[in-house]
Structure formats: C-alpha cells, structure tokens
Amino acid sequence: MKLTADFLVIGTGIAGLSYALKVAEKGSVLLVTKRQIDFTATRLAQGGIAAVSSVDGDFTSHAEDTMVAGADLSDPEIVDLAIGMGPKVIEDLLNWGVEFSRNDQNKYDLAREGGHSHRRIFHAKDATGREIERALVAAVDKHPSIQILENHIAIDLITEVINQQQTDEKRCLGAYVLDIEAQEVITIGAHFTVLATGGAGKVYLFTCNPDVATGDGVAIAWRAGAAVANMEFMQFHPTTLYHPNAKSFLISEAVRGEGAILRRSDGTAFMADQHPLKDLAPRDIVARAIDHQMKKYGDDCVFLDITHKGAEYIQERFPTIYETCLGYGIDMTTEPIPVVPAAHYICGGVQVDCHGESGVNNLFAIGECACTGLHGANRLASNSLLEGVAFAELAAQTSLKRLASSQVEFPSIAPWDSGNATDSDEEVIVAHNWEEIRRCMWSYVGIVRTTKRLNRALNRIQLIQKEIIEYYWDFHITSDLIELRNIATVAELIVKSALQRKESRGLHFTLDFPERDDLNCKHDTIIPGASPAPKQ
C-alpha cells in the first residue's frame, strides 16, 4: 500500500498537532501515531507551559533562568527566540480552544516551578497536558486536510542522495510505516517529514514516560543520516510516586512550586544544604540530592510534604495528584508523598537548526525528539511545551515557504521489501533484550555515572545490538521489534555521548570528572548520522 501527502507528521503530542494545524491550510497532512491520537506524553504533563504572558513581560528573567538551568550550554540565540515567542504560543493555544486556569479576578493563575525566579507557568490546574491535548485533538479531528493513522508505527525514513556541486546530500522522501493491526507495511511519500515522536524514557527501567516513549524519532533519524547531539543529558524527574502498584506516576514540579518540602523518612528537610533555592532548585540538583540521601541512609524513597498548605487548597490546586495518591492509600493532605527520581525528559536529540530542520533535507524534528539548543544540559521546568509549539511554528513557516516555491511531483519510491523473513515463534528474545537494556541503562547510565560503568554498558548494548540485527532481518517485523531496535540504538547513542563528556555538567554527573570544566569541555557532543544498515 502506498500513500502520499504534502506533510507527513509522525507523533501526535503538542508539537506534532501544532505543526499539523499550522500547515493544513496549505496542503494535505498525514498524522501517524503508535496508539490512539491522544496517547502521548503531552497528555500526561501536569505542571504547565512556561511563557511570558505579554509583549511587555520580563523575557530577560525567563531567558536567564533557562540559561542557569541549562548550565550555560543553552544556545542564547535559540533561548531568546523561543522565549520571545511566548505570547504567540499562548495565543495559538487559546485560539485552538485551550482553557487555562484563572484566579478570582479572572486573570490567568500563573504558577511557579523549580528553577523559575517568577510566576510564569500557564496551567490547567494539575492536568495541563490533558487540556492541551483535548483542544488540539478536537481541532485536528474537524480539519478536512488532516488524515490520522492511529496504531501505526514508523519503521524507517525513506531518503535519496542528491548531488549538489559534487557534495552528496540526503533528502527525506517519507517513511515506511507499519499498520500494527493489519501487520502491513505502508509506503508513505511526502514533500516534508516531521518527527514529533517525543522522548525516550522507556530506555530506562524506571520512567514516568508513557509506554510509547521509545526514542523512535531519534533512532530513525540517526539511521537515515541525521546527526544527534547531547544525548547524555537525560533528565530524571526528582519526584515520581513511590508505590509498588503505581506505574511511576509523576508528582508535578508545581507541588514544590506551591511550597512542598522534601524530607527524609525521619522528617528532616535536606534541600536547604544543597542549593540557595532549596526545594525549588533545578531538577538535576534535586534528583542528585534525593539519590544521595537514599544511598546515604539506605532508604527506598524520600517524602514530599505539602500538608502545611491545608486540605482545601491541596484538593483544589492538585485534584488529579490528590485523587491518584488517594487511590494508592496516600492522603497528601495529612501525610507526605513517598517519591523517587525516574527518567523523565531527554534534552538531546536530533540536531536541528533554528527552523527545526535536521541535516537531512526536508526532514524536521520538533518537540522532545529534537535538540534545538534551548535546554542545554538541563531543561527548565515547563519549557518543553513552549518549545513544542514554538518550533512547530518555525518548522511550519520554513516548510510552507519551500512548498510554495518548489512544487514538485512525488518521486518514485520502492515498496517495502521483507526479503525472506518469516514469522517468529521466539518473541521471548525481544522481551528479554528489552528488559536487559533497560536494567543496564538504569544501573550504569543513571543519575550518577563512572567511565567504568559507561564502558560496561556500551559493551553489553553492542552485544545485544548484534542479536537484534540478526533477529530483525530474519523475521517479519512487529511493533515490539521496532521499538526494541530503537531503544537499543538510543541507548548506545546515550552511552557514546556520555563517554565524550569529560566533566560533570547539568544532567551528566560522573564521579571520574566531578567538576564542571568550562575550558576543555565540548559545548555539544555530536554523533554523526549513519547510513541504514545493509541486510544480513
């Protein structure tokens, strides 16, 4: 089966849906998503979207907070660009039907989160992502130029080599996509392909990401020849619910923003000794502090205490968190919440320019799968949703201009070739390798690292890669096999990036180089893209 569209968008979170809505007036759009359209990390976002609320707002302090959180690795020009788009981003979301929380004066109830010097977080109580996803899905559903393919997963990008003045460059022509239910590979040709696939938290054993966060965009872009950057900077959210029956439910940064205090099991508050902002310190500092406390005192978790704010306030401000915790027998109005860090957000990704375009022509990456330069070594809380809409706008502007100036026919694309592949009766191999990679990454490439641990992880992951390659070409592909292939690729890229950085900065902390090194360090750790591997 073959389909064509002017714009192929892979991923249906805030970035992908925003881009689709911005280009749909000028061309046809195919939206591809692995599950249902609203099964995304965006939907799980609790805190909100950081944005200066008007053109008269304090852009400078937001930029300064972003640079500080990013440990001075954020690109100042990109920071100014994205933050300057704050009012436009909020206007777009309001026009699409998003309803943010207001106070008694009917003004927007701006919140404050860790690392922020001021209240600038637009939110919908503690379910901001759910509200944003609701509004964007509704807008997309009624647009006649947008076709949605649910339960479809991208396998690989389709590229061709173009020769320009004796310099070979790649151009993206679309993607091969698996219809998960029909087990049929679809060939999709597109003038522009946009990766908005989200994060890679499932590379780690413990994560607050949804099951779809397997680093697909990063993996397929790298295999197609796009460079990746700063993959060592995996953000571990400091506070996810610790409970044997909870699947890493996130306790929003906003809880600490409203006064919650981190305590040991004996009730001792410990963040005052770690950072001037105490419990509102940037996430990397808080996560390491919690990790240290747990290891020092042999505790399984620490506790987040907001009981002093009173039951009525807590239930009104954090209804989702309150009800979820109560479902696990924890009343956060009368007792502290047990929490632990978990893999949350990758600040690296597909290396893109200020328009969101990768090194492969007509291939864009936006949202968490991209490395734009905004986050540096550590993302400032709630800057991710801002980045998603801002770079959707920038990528849309560029692709629309290019489409208008160069109307061309869709090139001839070869259909998917499954060769001599057969059905597999050894799915246990996929499950076993999946588990082993995730445990390996958690044990050796986690919050605190060493060169020895990183090399051990690299050796093991490369051995698993060989098994995956053999299995991949011998058997018909499934969504599980595609995801396994992708998390193995992303895991290897993370480890190789971490080995390049001979210092501790932001989210990358190594005992072998515990200090920040501004003189000798690499500003960005870049791994050039690879060509698709030949069949075995």
Query: For residues 123 and 118, what is the distance between their CA atoms, to the nearest angstrom?
Result: 15
The single residue listed with the structure tokens 């949703």 is 385
For residue 41, count other CB atoms closer than 10 A to its CB. Answer: 25
Q: DSSP letter at 510? A: B
- HSE on the CB side for 126, CA within 13 Å? 23
The per-residue DSSP string of 235-260 comes to EEEEEEE--TT----B--HHHHHTT-
Tell me which of 130, 283, 317, 438 is the catalytic residue.
283
Q: Collapsing DSSP states into helix, strand and coil, what is residue 20?
A: helix
Helices (H) and strands (E) in the chain, counts: 15, 17
Kindly give the pairing relationship between strand 234-241 and strand 337-346: antiparallel
DSSP class per residue in 443-506:
HHSSSSB-HHHHHHHHHHHHHHHHHHHHHHHHB---HHHHHHHHHHHHHHHHHHHHHH--S-BT
Do 170 and 79 contact (CB within 8 A), yes or no?
no
Residue written as token pair 């072998």: 512
Could you tell me which residues are beta bridge partners of residue 29? 7, 146
Per-residue tokens: 70: 């990013």
Q: Is position 171 annotated as part of the catalytic site? A: no
Q: What are phi and psi of 355, to 5 degrees?
A: -110, 0
CA-to-CA distance for 522 and 497, rounded, in angstroms?
Answer: 11
Please list the active-site residues.
283
